[in-house]
Amino acid sequence: MAVVPSRAVIDAIIGAGHRDPFAVLGMHADGPDGTLVVRSFQPGADAVAVIDAGSGKTVTVLDRIDDAGFFARVLGRRKKTFHYRLRVSRGDRSEVVEDPYRFPPLLSELDLHLFAEGTHLHLYKKLGAHPLQIDAVDGVGFAVWAPNAQRVAVVGDFNGWDGRLHPMRLRHDCGIWELFIPGLASGHIYKYEIKGPHGQLLPLRSDPFGAHAELRPDTASVIEATGGFAWGDQQWMAGRGARNARNAPISIYEVHLGSWRRVPGEGERFLSYRELAAQLIPYVEEMGFTHLQLMPINEHPFDGSWGYQPVGLFAPSSRFGSPEDFQYFVDCCHRAGIGLLIDWVPGHFPADSHGLAQFDGTHLYEHADPRQGFHPDWNTLIYNYGRREVSNFLRSNAHFWFDRYHVDGLRVDAVASMLYLDYSREEGQWIANPEGGNENLEAIEFLRRANEEIYREHPGAFTVAEESTAWPGVSRPTSSGGLGFGYKWNMGWMNDTLQYMARDPVHRCHHHNEMTFGLVYAFDENFVLPLSHDEVVHGKRSLLGRMPGDDWQQFANLRAYFGFMWTHPGKKLLFMGGEFAQGQEWNHDASLDWHLLDVHWHAGVQRLVRDLNRVYRGTPALYQRDCEPQGFAWLDYADAGNSIFAYLRFGAEGSAPVAAVSNFTPVPRRGYRLGVPAAGFYREIINTDAAVYGGSDTGNSGGLHAEAVPWQGQPHSLLITLPPLATLIFASQPQAGAG
């Protein structure tokens, strides 16, 4: 290139249209006989001088080539490149700055190769905005994938949002644009200015890999330094595998951070991550839950989406504080012995103009055909899982949350919508796979690969699928044809049992199978029993509101149901508010109704859930064989006339079995005989009708001795009083002198 480029090149630079600014700007051996030339575009500058960074001396003053601010000049006879700076003068002010166009490429050839083949597990460390140092110069490196763009520039509060000032370098092999901007640091806000394949200027885009974002309604990404947090959870991380295993007690408290509790004296504002650490974590610990699950905390523009339409997959929502604040929250969870799961949404994304939709002017992240790329239920877009770069983007995001934030698990949202090409579609609205079926083969491969990588790279971590169909092997290893999840939500159990509980007790005898059918398939998967947020919104009423009868019966029904749930095979999940029987549906715009705890019935349900968690965690028979048929045996599943269910739970060999019995009518049953496997004293460890829970206090005086009367297939039995609308749990006690 000549010392002074052609008019067309200059116009392209000053008009923000040049595709390869590094070929023009900066230092080049383009002078006579290979001498060095420096070119710079500095709008509004009166003069630009080249300074030797080593000596501080002026090497030359550049010539003004165009009044718009294009400067260039040969550096005498110099042929060897050197570290230089630019002194830019505007009026009576001048400043010495580093030239972004003198720095080398950011991504290595290995990075580009791994990205191109879709195997860069730590892509989030390369793409996005990262404070770093090059040649002893501090600044921020930016990298973004936009292969079909004609031009990409970084704009922000540091350059007046002027897309002419920081155009990026295109790495042609893979479509990544990159730029190191010296002098920048954490706290600056930025976006990408992109010209599409036809030269059209697109709406400014947030960074798909942005680590932080502005508080909505603003949508810019925020430069954020990472890696400086001092973690204190080493002991937890080393031993978490045992806490997340199939034979461990797992009782999950699901929370929406924006509405768990608010600050009434300050305009009902959200609690921050640090305030939540001080209030939510001790509450979860006191209530005896083993794990906390957060509804999506990824940055999202619309509160009413509850986070399920995320734009910033790599950014903890700024509604509650900074990324470091969230790290603090996770660390506090682990120090308190609580595991943390977050909702992960790889199934779809919103069409917001600052997000991923037609990111570079083409259907880059989503399918172009709406029969594959548009989700009719949520008016969102569906990822193109068959594109290596898109799959890599999502899988890297999963690794990001485990690596940077030490989360223990991902609950993967809406898996069924990913698995089926005809999900929520009528005939003619979907495209069959190459084999003619309705299975989304690309999504299946994505999920399997993601699970394989997560379990390989993050010891002790686990994944949970929200999958509502009979897809086989969701929580089975990929090596045996499964999807590779650790657990699956048991949506069938939830739907059947809630339907049963909503019935008037007089009609329950005709629907007995709604409570028993779940045991037909209870061990086909590693199940979590979910009473989630989805069950207390959109007119479904609260859990308490679903229960029939007067006030007393509603609370008794709910207590009995919780007793049934906590003794049923499967890990437990309860959405916030359910633990104290909130009467209203969940409202994401308001705090839970904590004042209800002043009412003894609500306080009683809360105490019951706390005690159920305590008993569950302390009784191996209730959790060790949750996922094995050897952990359960019916005593009586056929007593439909009395709406009674009785069964045994077993732990590992040598542990004491537990007997549970539920009465779902308001009629007390005195002289009910319950079979037990051995002689001895059986302590009544839970009675959901106890007075301390708000019940009538009908029971068995703390326990009974077994009689040598065979019953229900067992060699011994207890003659018990079965309270109305209640669940009892009996645990055998070692006999005196035994052992």
d(CA 161, CA 150): 19
Name the β-bridge partners of 534.
Answer: none
d(CA 294, CA 254): 6
Peptide bond preceding 217 in cis form (omega within 30 of 0): yes
CB 352 within 8 A of CB 342: no
pLDDT value at position 735? 52
At 493 the pLDDT is: 97
Low-confidence ranges of the chain (pLDDT < 50): 736-739
C-alpha torsion 510→515→521→522, nearest 10? -170
Please tell me whether residue 472 adopts helix, strand or coil conformation: coil
Beta pairing partners, 189: 222
Residues of the chain with CATH 2.60.40.10: 7-99, 109-222
| Helix (H), strand (E) counts: the chain | 15, 37
Burial annotation 565-580 (CB, 10 A radius, 16+ → b, else e): bbbbbbbbbbbbbbbb
Coil, strand or helix: which one is 543? helix
User: Which amino acids are annotated catalytic?
Assistant: 413, 466
Predicted pLDDT of residue 734: 61
> Beta strands 339-344 and 291-294: pairing type?
parallel
Q: Is 217 helix (H, G, I), strand (E, B) or coil?
A: coil
The C-alpha atoms of residue 553 and residue 666 are separated, in whole angstroms, by 8
Q: Locate 338 and state its tokens.
A: 């609580």
* Confidence at residue 737, expressed as pLDDT on a 0 to 100 scale: 38
| CA–CA gap between residue 380 and residue 368 (Å, rounded) | 13
CB atoms within 10 A of CB 197: 12
Q: Kindly give the pairing relationship between strand 312-316 and strand 251-255.
A: unpaired
Closest CA to 721 of 679, 676, 687, 685: 687
> If you search the block for the tokens 């989503």, which residue do you land on?
366
State the pLDDT at residue 188.
97
pLDDT for 739 equals 32
Half-sphere exposure of 20 (CA within 13 A, CB side): 6
CATH class of 7-99: mainly beta
Are 292 and 574 in contact by the 8 Å Cβ rule? The answer is no
Give me the phi and psi of 18, to 5 degrees please. -80, 135
Q: Which two tokens stand for residue 478?
A: 């990929």
CA distance 178 to 174: 12
Q: Which CATH class is domain 621-733?
A: mainly beta
**pLDDT at residue number 203:** 97
On whether the 109-222 domain is CATH 2.60.40.10, my answer is: yes
